[in-house]
Amino acid sequence: MSDTPYDEHFVSWFRAVTPYINAFRGRTFVIAFGGKAVASEFAKTLAYDVNLLVSLGIRLVLVHGARPQIEEELREKQLESKYHRGYRVTDAETLDCVLDAVGSVYLEIEAMLSQGLPNTPMANSRIRVIGGNFITGQPIGVLDGIDMQYAGKVRKVDVEGINAQLGLGNIVLLNCEGPSPTGEIFNLQMEEAAEAVAIAIKADKLVYLTDSRGVTDNGGELLDAMTADEASQLLRDADWLSTDIMRYLPCSVRASRAGVGRVHLIGFEQDGALLRELFTHDGVGTVVTRESLENIREAKPDDIAALIALIEPIEQEGILVHRPRELLEREIDHFSIMLHDGIIVGCAALYPHSEDEAELACLAVAPDQREWGYGEQLMRRIERRARKMGIKRLFVLTTRTEHWFVERGFKQGTVDDLPAAKRDMYNYQRRSKVLFKTL
Ligand SMILES: CC(C)(COP(=O)(O)OP(=O)(O)OC[C@H]1O[C@@H](n2cnc3c(N)ncnc32)[C@H](O)[C@@H]1OP(=O)(O)O)[C@@H](O)C(=O)NCCC(=O)NCCS
């Protein structure tokens, strides 16, 4: 078989997603979506993507809503749909409509996830979908003098029960009904139910499939990442946010402050949005995190395998000098690493040669993560570490990246300017350029 560009694209794509596959295996995700997504033409492909996530070993809880379907039931019975402060005022007749609508949406989702037709991504899949009384509800009570009746909020989540099902590899499918110990059923808000479940089971990710493509700024530009503090500031100031984002964003802020690693808001109307958000660097929607997604820290012995995976291909190209694993194990303290969403995307090392002189070495950023400024951030980190140690001058040896360093304040020098020990080890075959920077 010949290597067509398609094959090359496929192979490099597959390799690019491998770190995500490894990072996500055994993680717990909660995915929440409204009844609009279930009724849409995208429901089938979403089911395929959910199936793929489970196949990759992700523990999955789905939480669904049914607003349009409830509205439809109410219309058919000529009942009025009433909301107060975002909650449906739910009298006994409305509750009947809620139960009918939610019940049939649940069955629809179950049927979609049970497909196994050949020639579809669901072929050979055998996912067990488990529902149940995992959420206990309680009445909201009287709000501003209005009796909300069967409108409820989450009282308790059966964490043990959910974990037992996830441990068996089953998908847990929850809806927006919360039975109470008194035998009544309360109508919950889907987004609040998902928030409560994600917090209770300590989910790594909570994903809201929204009508909008994510959170936007006042010019309509997508905001791809924000911290919980930035999101709550936006909720105070922004009058341009759509109604669905106004519903999802407060839940996202609370969930991420309560320890859910990442909360994603992504439009369900983009084919493959779920996969693109989860398995690519840029994603397609908005991610809310407690801290910033990017994170630089000093390397630890646990990072060695990922560090080797990062630098080995660059060593093979002859750009970096080969460092055997034993050497890395001995010298791991010299390294700083850059992480994006928990995945190592770059590294750099600092080797002091005397009291005031040190080498910046092994600066590398994964090829598909370049030009995001990671290289520069790593260089600055090394400079900061060096200054703290009282280093006055940094040097670097490079065969192909001279200009990159020169543009960042390094000046050309000669081998003779190197500290004696380094000079003696200089490899005249590599003929690296020698560059210096005064700190
Ligand atoms: C050099 C390297 C670390 C830069 O990482 P990065 O995260 O892409 O860096 P930044 O995003 O901070 O900088 C990107 C800029 O550098 C430029 N750049 C990248 N490689 C360059 C090179 N060899 N020479 C000159 N400029 C270069 C890019 O074009 C981009 O320019 P722009 O900002 O004008 O668009 C990365 O390309 C790499 O890992 N290279 C292989 C290893 C290496 O050469 N290490 C240095 C020897 S120790």
pLDDT tens digits, one per residue of 145-199 = 999 999 999 999 999 999 999 999 999 999 999 999 989 999 999 999 999 999 9
Structural domain includes residue 6:
no
Lowest-confidence pick of 3-7, 343-347, 428-432: 3-7
Distance 277 CA to ligand 1 centre (A): 26
| Nearest residue to 27 (alpha-carbon basis) of 45, 50, 53 | 53
Reading the block at residue 209, the tokens are 């499939």
Average pLDDT on 19-36 reads: 92
| Nearest residue to 87 (alpha-carbon basis) of 144, 130, 129, 127 | 144
Structural domain includes residue 4:
no
Lowest-confidence pick of 111-115, 154-158, 415-419: 111-115
Structural domain includes residue 141:
yes
CB under 8 Å to 325, separation ≥6 — which residues?
304, 308
Q: How far apart are CA 389 and CA 385, in angstroms?
A: 7
Spell out which residues line ligand 1, taking CB within 6 angstroms. 314, 319-320, 361-365, 370-376, 396, 398, 400-401, 403-404
The answer on pLDDT for 1 being more than 50 is no
| Nearest residue to 64 (alpha-carbon basis) of 94, 104, 25, 114 | 104
- 112 with 199, same domain: the answer is yes
Average pLDDT along the chain: 91
Question: Structural domain of residue 390, as residue ranges?
Answer: 295-438
- 68 with 180, same domain: the answer is yes
The answer on pLDDT for 416 being more than 60 is yes
The type of residue at 341 is D
Reading the block at residue 230, the tokens are 């930035």
Which atom of ligand 1 lies nearest, measured to the CA of 401?
23
Of all protein residues, the one whose alpha carbon is nearest to atom 44 of ligand 1 is 401
The answer on pLDDT for 2 being more than 60 is no
Which atom of ligand 1 lies nearest, measured to the CA of 372?
11
Among the candidates 268, 292, 316, a domain finishes at 292
Using the 8-state DSSP alphabet, how is residue 201 labeled? T
Q: How far apart are CA 316 and CA 309, in angstroms?
A: 12
0.75 exceeded by pTM: no
Distance 101 CA to ligand 1 centre (A): 55
Contact at 8 Å (CB) between 223 and 181? no
Average pLDDT on 207-213 reads: 94
Contact at 8 Å (CB) between 58 and 29? yes
Structural domain includes residue 180:
yes
- Provide, rounded to the nearest whole percent, the portion of the chain with pLDDT above 70: 96
Structure confidence at residue 86 (pLDDT): 87
Structural domain includes residue 368:
yes
| C-alpha count within 13 angstroms, C-beta hemisphere, residue 170 | 15
Average pLDDT on 98-126 reads: 83
Structure confidence at residue 114 (pLDDT): 84
Number of domain units in the chain: 2
- 306 with 225, same domain: the answer is no
Q: Cβ atoms within 10 A of the Cβ of 243, count?
A: 10
- 213 with 279, same domain: the answer is yes
Return the higher-pLDDT residue of 326 and 292.
326
222-267 pLDDT per residue, tens: 998 899 989 999 999 888 999 999 999 999 999 999 989 899 999 9
Q: Which of 365, 404, 431, 436 to mutate to test the pocket of ligand 1 (most atoms within 8 A of CB)?
A: 404
Q: How confident is the model at residue 118 (pLDDT cuts 50, 70, 90)?
A: low
The answer on pLDDT for 316 being more than 50 is yes
Structure confidence at residue 435 (pLDDT): 97
The bridge status of strand 152-157 relative to strand 135-139 is antiparallel
CATH number, domain of 193, equals 3.40.1160.10
Distance 378 CA to ligand 1 centre (A): 11
Q: How confident is the model at residue 363 (pLDDT cuts 50, 70, 90)?
A: very high
Which atom of ligand 1 lies nearest, measured to the CA of 399?
47
- 236 with 342, same domain: the answer is no
Q: How far apart are CA 310 and CA 299, in angstroms?
A: 13
Structural domain includes residue 325:
yes
CA distances from 90 to 73, 74, 79, 263 (A): 13, 11, 11, 29
Distance 14 CA to ligand 1 centre (A): 24
Q: Cβ atoms within 10 A of the Cβ of 110, count?
A: 14
The answer on pLDDT for 122 being more than 80 is no
Q: Which residues pair with 136 in a beta bridge?
A: 156
CA distances from 124 to 55, 106, 121, 127, 202 (A): 11, 23, 9, 10, 31
